[in-house]
Amino acid sequence: MASARLSILAGAACLAVCSLMPLAAAHAQDSGTLAKIKSSGSITFGYRESSFGFSYLDANLKPVGYSIDICNRIVDAVKTELKMPGIETRYQAVTSANRIPLVANGTVDIECGSTTNLVERQKQVAFSPDIFRYNVRMLVKADSGIRSIADLQGRTVVTTTGTTSFRLLREADKGKNLEVTNLAGKDHTESFLLVENGRAQAFVLDDILLAGQVANARSPKDFVITGESLRTENQSLMFRKDDPEFKALVDRVVGGMMKSGEMERLYNRWFMSPIPPKNININYPLNAETKDAFANPSSKGI
């Protein structure tokens, strides 16, 4: 009887605490990101561990990359806005699967990764102006004979959990009844390894991220990025929605970097120059779509 009573009391206590958690999260979001940063003295970046060039770990396991550098410029602006030069930057690893929930619930203040700005995602989170635009294609072994979507018939295709890649492949099929087996990698590196070790014959993803995987491969010449573009997509920084004050600051910083030419200089640093930890050059020239994004900043999404 006593143990049953304790169990009931424990359950009631848990219910009370758990019921307060959403209220606490809602209160934190109602106060706005800048108020949250001012109160805590810190800002939390969400980073990816293997989005090479954009957001990944260097030899010292420190998050680095194009997206991280842009977020650092935003922090500089926050310090000025709040008159707080000592704001601490904290880091939280995110994946394709958990990045949106971690931003929405306040764990991450701004995701500095490689996320596509989709209109459907705007129901949960907000986005900066596009920092990159790219095409969704596939990576295969150079000797595989695969050069188009039709060549995937009967093959195994890997996509990273939480990405839109497999859905785009199905939409491109347009009733042709392409029969493929889909494997899911937990991150981009695991997905690439499934092609490298022969468990999958193709890896579908943003071509720039595929280029990063190839550049870091043991034998880059063994792989090619090929096939029709499944869609032109746009990458943006992601943060909590319904926070116009923080969005205005982010838009001002990102737009200013584009206008001044700093964004293109950062691009060349991370995608056209040797980068840590192996001093490999991804060698992905600025494309026409991204040039347009820099000339006409937009966060409308697709």
Residue 49 in tokens: 């561990």
Domains of the chain: 31-133+233-295 (3.40.190.10), 135-232 (3.40.190.10)
237, pLDDT greater than 80: yes
Q: Which of 14-18, 143-147, 166-170 has the lowest mean pLDDT?
A: 14-18
Neighbours of 245 (CB within 10 A): 11
Mean pLDDT of 246-253: 98
- E strands along 35-117, which residues? 42-47, 50-51, 55-57, 63-64, 88-93, 110-116
* pTM reported for the whole predicted model: 0.83
Residue 136 CB coordination number (10 Å): 24
pLDDT, mean of residues 111-116: 96
Cβ proximity of 159 and 165 under 8 Å: yes
pLDDT of 18 over the 80 cut: no
Looking at residue 27, its pLDDT comes to: 43
Cα–Cα distance for residue pair 2/204, rounded to 1 Å: 58
Q: Give the whole-angstrom CA distance, residue 91 versus residue 63.
A: 8
Chain-centroid distance, C-alpha 248: 21
- Using pLDDT thresholds of 50, 70 and 90, give the confidence band for residue 175: low
Which among 267, 259, 269, 273 has a CA at the least distance from the CA of 286?
267
What is the per-residue pLDDT for 14? 40
